[in-house]
Structure 1
């Protein structure tokens, strides 16, 4: 048995589904659920997005079938902007993670963020920034957000720095992406950013770091986000 979350489902042939999973023990994988869309048959897949499940994998080769699917935690009911952010996290996982590579630490981080999204007074920017930062680390391209790479000094929230993806945070001017020290501190320590310009800078920085790993195709979840009433968050 392994714990898992449904990332995405899509029809396959007449009555079946292909299901994209994020599992604790096997990472991202796809299963073939025969007859899951048969009329009158209760599917164990469709209503369970954003709920931790446990399941057994059967079959040979890369394409297996999930069986004995049971709840392993509360179902997180997400609406509006929380739903859009949840879908964004799912899209990130589907685009960035290689199949069949376990990521148990990231699995638990994802579960924690889903619980936050289901709560009250969610700071969506903090959720997204924290997950994007941790995803970069899982991909092996994370950086030290606390120290400069060239001088090994702690980040000063009042200073300006430059971030070069292959080097890290630099104190020397001219190389990399310019970014304010308070924005770097917020990313490192999961702090809120009150200024809209700072939030945009953090968003653009993290998206630029992720771009080589997630591709250039538009994210469907961003269209959903833009369709929701905006509280001035600017994320």
Structure 2
């Protein structure tokens, strides 16, 4: 009988995107790796109090993983914290979970995108270091859509294929690309702004180049257009983590209840 050789991956850069229980002591892990894309691992015994993996297999932490197996689900063999930054906290933590949901909904398993992995790592690092949350999210959304081939040409109209006029307004439509709009349209950017984003995306280091476009990235107009694209291609009307982020912000902005005096003794 000829035995089938089991593939072994060693020291692979990766992040945990999601995990759920498999048994009383084991977990199923969805991880995003640099050279193998999104893969599913079973971590046997990792929930035991004596497991060395308990404090390592956390989301939004850079890891180095070993696994084996040639099926759809592989077996985790080793996991090490790669260092570099601490886990994001507060709003940044929720933003990081949103990045994870985007990858889970929009990427296919076993489809490697090394450049997208690097952009994700940069986004998580930016969140951990306290960068403006909106700036980090918009940069990653743009790069995710471009990597997956779903970002339209940002230098021309989507239907008529005409070059953008610098001072004219354009809005991003999910099925038709950039469409003419009034400059004062809340969901529109000028042709000059769209072309600047296109130039940044085409640069050798798009993550860094997009930082120079911060005023455009943190505005509501770009957020609306990118949200439409992301919802269209993911097939969902709302992302769970996005809804959670908005709920937390509403609660934080709500006035505190008036403190009542203590009853008389």
TM-score band by shorter chain is: 0.7 to 0.9
1:56 aligns to 2:66 (yes or no): yes
Report the CA distance between 1:207 and its aligned residue: 0.9
- Kept in 2: contact 1:183–1:193 (CA 8 A): no
Candidates 161, 170, 183, aligned match of 2:170: 161
Post-superposition offset of 1:73:
3.3
In the alignment, the residues of structure 1 paired with residue 100 and residue 181 of structure 2 have an alpha-carbon distance, to the nearest angstrom, of 37
Tell me the CA shift for residue 194 of structure 1.
7.5
1:104 aligns with 2:124: no
* Alignment-derived partner of residue 204 in structure 2: none
Secondary structure of 1:25's counterpart equals coil
SS in 2 for 1:115: helix
Residue pair 1:123, 1:192 contacting (<8 A) in 2 also: no
Which is higher, the Rg of structure 1 or of structure 2?
2
Whether 1:132 aligns to 2:141 is yes
> What is the DSSP-based 3-state SS (H/G/I as helix, E as strand, rest coil) of the residue aligned with 1:21?
strand
Contact 1:151 1:171 in 2 (8 A): no
Higher relative contact order (CA 8 A, sep 6+): 1
Aligned-pair distance for 1:167? 4.7
1:155–1:29 Cα change, 3 Å: farther
**More deviation in 30-39 or 181-190?**
181-190
Aligned counterpart for 2:16 among listed residues 6, 10, 19: 6
Give the C-alpha shift of residue 223 in structure 1: 4.0
CA separation of 1:220 and 1:20: change in aligned 2, threshold 3 A:
same
Residue 14 of structure 1 aligns to a residue whose secondary structure is coil
* Deviation sequence 1:79-133 (CA, Å, 0-9, x none): 111111111100100111010000111000001111111224x222221111111
| Displacement after TM superposition at 1:75 (Å) | 3.8
What is the total number of aligned residue pairs between the two structures?
A: 223
Provide the C-alpha distance between the structure 1 equivalents of 2:128 and 2:165, rounded to a whole number of angstroms: 33
After TM superposition, give the deviation of residue 7 of structure 1 in Å.
0.7
Structure 2 unaligned spans of 5+:
1-9, 201-209, 254-265
Pick aligned residue for 1:70 from 77, 80, 105? 80
Match of 2:230 in 1: 210
Q: TM-score, normalised by structure 2?
A: 0.73
| Cα deviation, residue 48, structure 1 | 3.1
Partner of 1:193: 215
Instruction: Tell me which residue corresponds to 1:233.
Output: none
Tell me, in whole angstroms, the C-alpha distance in 1 between the residues paired with 2:34 and 2:153.
26
Contact 1:186 1:192 in 2 (8 A): no
8 Å contact kept, 1:133–1:187: no
Report the TM-score, using the length of structure 1 for normalisation: 0.81
Instruction: Specify every segment of 5 or more residues in structure 1 that has no aligned partner in the other structure, as ranges.
Output: 231-235
> CA–CA distance in 2 between the matches of 1:30 and 1:115?
24
Say whether residues 1:115 and 2:125 are aligned partners. yes
Summarize deviations over 1:19-50 as a string: whole Å, max 9, x none.
Answer: 11000111111111111112333325655322
Secondary structure in 2 matching 1:141? coil
What's the secondary structure of 2:101's corresponding residue?
helix
